[in-house]
């Protein structure tokens, strides 16, 4: 047990990566749909590329959306209208008519005419209430069927046009009076009817809608079926019409059928294999080509977190409405990784993420093509992210590529631009605007994961920062030396393709530890008094060596990033404080050499190695007397070769060719500083 614990302790970094790998895999698999996936890709109007396809099981042929829509419209148009009949209204109307007739009609009317007119009114009332009088005029088609209900029981069925509307009553009365020759009594007779007539029909909206919904629910979403073993489509046949609908039905059946517990576990297992394979490729890439990142668990966690975040957001959008899939700014991933690491890692991670998303998005080939092309454009166009204009220009280019690629796919699928979905272009624009969110996201990541981007490096390179201001006030000579080293280091980094911004910032801050005892360093001794004259060689060496330790403490106190602190740690490596060592050796030949060595570590990157070379060359160049081109060449060669002999660059991934390029830059720069002309042979 003890051995096992020791083994875990020795390999805790790998154990952490294994846990991260497993947890990320299961989180992504949890988000994936747990259904079968149709293994064939097909497009409407295009030839079937696979072998002859036979039905693997019995399945129903689904109707198209247009067919279902047409059926719903037909049912809605033919739906019955339901009206409630109010009982007792007819009896009440007749009773009021009888009593009001005597009051409204003149007594001078001849008895026979009066009786005839009285009976005419009763006949008209009977005709009005044969079907019923509506309480208001509804905007329904005249030919629709109306069902009259008495206490929820169907009384009779008529056409809606047969129901009497109140604004038609006057026309009916006038027509009947004219037919019987009683037009002279039109005014009092119509006035009488408008006093006594009451509506007895009211529209039952709730019951009508319930009946309509019941009819709509009876719609069948399938038409016919395909038996197992039936040929669905042959190789080379064009996918269209009924064949297209059968293929869509089979695809839908694969994705929606109810799976047994055994099938479910197999699908989860298969998804786990695919996801773990993709994430394993990402880990292997880091292990082989970005080992410094692989060894840093925080950075590996950061990369896996961003991959999972893109999958998570895309899954949410697909589950809500897959039409909005292109609003998700996937290109933020390569932007973020390029800002913190490099373009190659950004593109590789982007491709892995898009491959994972291909399992959950519709039209996976189209989606993957668009996103990979957009990712490549992102990597190729976005440079110097700290410049705001560059980001806006790049986002515009990414959006344009989305639009062009989508347009091409649409024309290929549909064969024309008549039905082009312009709203999709709007989604690409929204995606571009969302991509601009990368700037605040990078800032948040810097705080959460302790990473450093070019934006932060640009801020740190400002010589008006509090720490550099303090350095210029307390140790002006050191500050000037740091500026010169920064210029040399930046030029050298540009020459070999290293991170110029990082090495410049590292050079500006590498000697901040000298603020603690500025006068003990030659560049700050303006009075001609040397404090080392009062110290022993060992004490002097300790003061010189301590500027590295002091620099680290000051940097941490001022919250400088670890990547910048690395330059303070390594800019002298494990080199010797040579002057005081030789001085002490003259007194005591058995002196311990380690007492005069810097604590290290040695430079472990191209950037830290560049700083060591530039710092040594710039500092020593002040001792050159009557410099010439040949003297400068020999001087640079001697200093850097000595560092190579001391194996100071053993841990840095820098080549001999790159070192030679740096020497060339340093010689050229020093020649410019001393305003030297080319030496011509005599």
pLDDT at 112: 64
For the chain, residues with pLDDT lower than 50 are 258-259, 677-678, 680
pLDDT per residue over 484-511, tens digit each? 999 999 999 999 988 888 999 999 999 9
> Can you read off the two tokens belonging to residue 559?
């919250």
- In a 13 Å sphere around the CA of 387, the CA atoms on its Cβ side amount to 8
pLDDT at 258: 46
pLDDT at 183: 79
Coil, helix or strand at residue 290: coil
Element (H, E) at 337: helix 332-340
DSSP 679: P
- Predicted TM-score of the model (pTM): 0.62
> Can you read off the two tokens belonging to residue 73?
């419209």
Give the Cα separation of 95 and 195 in Å (integer).
Answer: 12
pLDDT at 49: 67
pLDDT at 494: 92
pLDDT at 262: 59
Give the Cα separation of 617 and 117 in Å (integer).
Answer: 128
- End-to-end CA separation in angstroms for the chain: 80
Q: For 617-624, which contacts have Cβ atoms below 8 Å and span 24 or more sequence positions?
A: 617/488, 617/666, 617/670, 618/481, 618/484, 618/485, 618/488, 619/481, 619/523, 621/670, 621/673, 622/522, 622/523, 624/674
pLDDT at 179: 80
Spell out the domains of the chain, with CATH numbers in brackets: 2-32+262-425 (no CATH), 74-216 (no CATH), 454-673 (1.10.3210)
pLDDT at 680: 46
pLDDT at 387: 65
The number of residues in the chain equals 682
pLDDT at 52: 79
Distances (CA, A) of 556 to 39, 509, 552, 566, 609: 56, 12, 6, 11, 22
């Amino acid at each position: 047990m003890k051995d096992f614990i020791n083994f875990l302790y020795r390999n805790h970094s790998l154990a952490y990566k294994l846990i991260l790998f497993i947890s990320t895999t299961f989180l992504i698999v949890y988000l994936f749909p747990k259904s079968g996936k149709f293994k064939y890709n097909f497009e409407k109007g295009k030839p079937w590329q696979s072998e002859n396809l036979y039905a693997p099981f019995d399945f129903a042929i689904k109707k198209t959306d247009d067919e279902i829509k047409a059926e719903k419209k037909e049912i809605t148009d033919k739906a019955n209208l339901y009206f409630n009949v109010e009982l007792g209204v007819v009896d009440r109307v007749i009773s009021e008519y009888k009593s009001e007739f005597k009051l409204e009609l003149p007594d001078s009317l001849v008895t026979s005419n009066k009786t005839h007119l009285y009976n005419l009114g009763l006949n008209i009332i009977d005709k009005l209430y044969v079907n019923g009088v509506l309480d208001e005029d509804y905007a329904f088609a005249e030919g629709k069927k109306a069902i009259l209900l008495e206490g929820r029981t169907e009384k009779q069925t008529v056409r809606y046009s047969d129901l009497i509307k109140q604004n038609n009553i006057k026309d009916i009365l006038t027509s009947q009076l004219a037919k019987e020759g009683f037009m002279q009594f039109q005014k009092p007779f119509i006035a009488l009817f408008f006093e006594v007539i009451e509506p007895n029909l009211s529209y039952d909206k709730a019951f009508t809608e319930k009946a309509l919904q019941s009819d709509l629910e009876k719609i069948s979403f399938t038409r016919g079926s395909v038996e197992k073993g039936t040929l669905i489509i042959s190789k080379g046949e064009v996918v269209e019409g009924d064949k297209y609908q059968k293929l869509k039905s089979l695809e839908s059946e694969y994705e929606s059928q109810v799976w047994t517990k055994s099938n479910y576990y197999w699908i989860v297992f298969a998804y786990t294999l695919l996801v773990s394979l993709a994430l394993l490729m990402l880990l292997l890439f880091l292990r082989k080509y970005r080992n410094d990142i692989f060894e840093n668990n925080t950075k590996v966690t950061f990369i896996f977190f961003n991959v999972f975040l893109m999958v998570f957001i895309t899954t949410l959008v697909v589950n809500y409405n897959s039409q909005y899939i292109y609003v998700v700014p996937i290109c933020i991933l390569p932007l973020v990784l390029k800002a913190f690491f490099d373009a190659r890692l950004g593109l590789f991670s982007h491709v892995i993420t898009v491959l994972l998303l291909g399992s959950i998005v519709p039209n996976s080939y189209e989606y993957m093509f668009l996103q990979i092309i957009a990712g490549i454009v992102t990597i190729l166009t976005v440079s110097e992210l700290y410049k705001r204009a560059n980001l806006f220009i790049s986002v515009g280019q990414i959006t344009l590529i989305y639009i062009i690629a989508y347009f091409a796919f649409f024309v290929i699928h549909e064969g024309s631009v008549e039905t082009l979905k312009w709203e999709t272009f709007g989604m690409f624009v929204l995606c571009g605007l969302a991509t601009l969110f990368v700037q605040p996201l990078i800032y948040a990541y810097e705080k959460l994961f302790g990473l450093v981007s070019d934006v932060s490096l640009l801020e740190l390179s400002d010589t008006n920062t509090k720490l550099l201001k303090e350095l210029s006030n307390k140790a002006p000579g050191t500050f000037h030396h740091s500026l010169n080293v920064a210029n040399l280091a930046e030029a050298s980094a540009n020459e070999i393709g290293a991170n110029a911004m990082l090495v410049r910032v590292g050079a500006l801050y590498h000697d901040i530890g000298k603020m603690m005892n500025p006068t003990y360093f030659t560049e700050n001794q303006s009075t001609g008094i040397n404090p080392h004259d009062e110290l022993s060689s060992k004490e002097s060496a300790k003061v010189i060596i301590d500027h590295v330790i002091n620099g680290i403490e000051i940097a941490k106190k001022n919250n400088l990033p670890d990547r910048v602190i690395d330059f303070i740690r390594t800019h002298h490596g494990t080199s010797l404080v040579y002057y005081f060592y030789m001085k002490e050796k003259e007194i005591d030949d058995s002196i311990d050499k380690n007492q005069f060595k810097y604590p290290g570590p040695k430079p472990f990157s191209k950037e830290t190695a560049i700083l060591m070379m530039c710092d040594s060359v710039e500092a020593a160049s002040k001792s050159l007397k009557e410099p010439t081109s040949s003297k400068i060449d020999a001087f640079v060669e001697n200093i850097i070769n000595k560092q190579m002999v001391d194996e100071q660059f053993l841990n840095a991934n820098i080549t001999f060719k790159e070192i030679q390029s740096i020497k060339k830059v340093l010689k050229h720069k020093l020649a410019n500083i001393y305003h030297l002309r080319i030496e011509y042979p005599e």
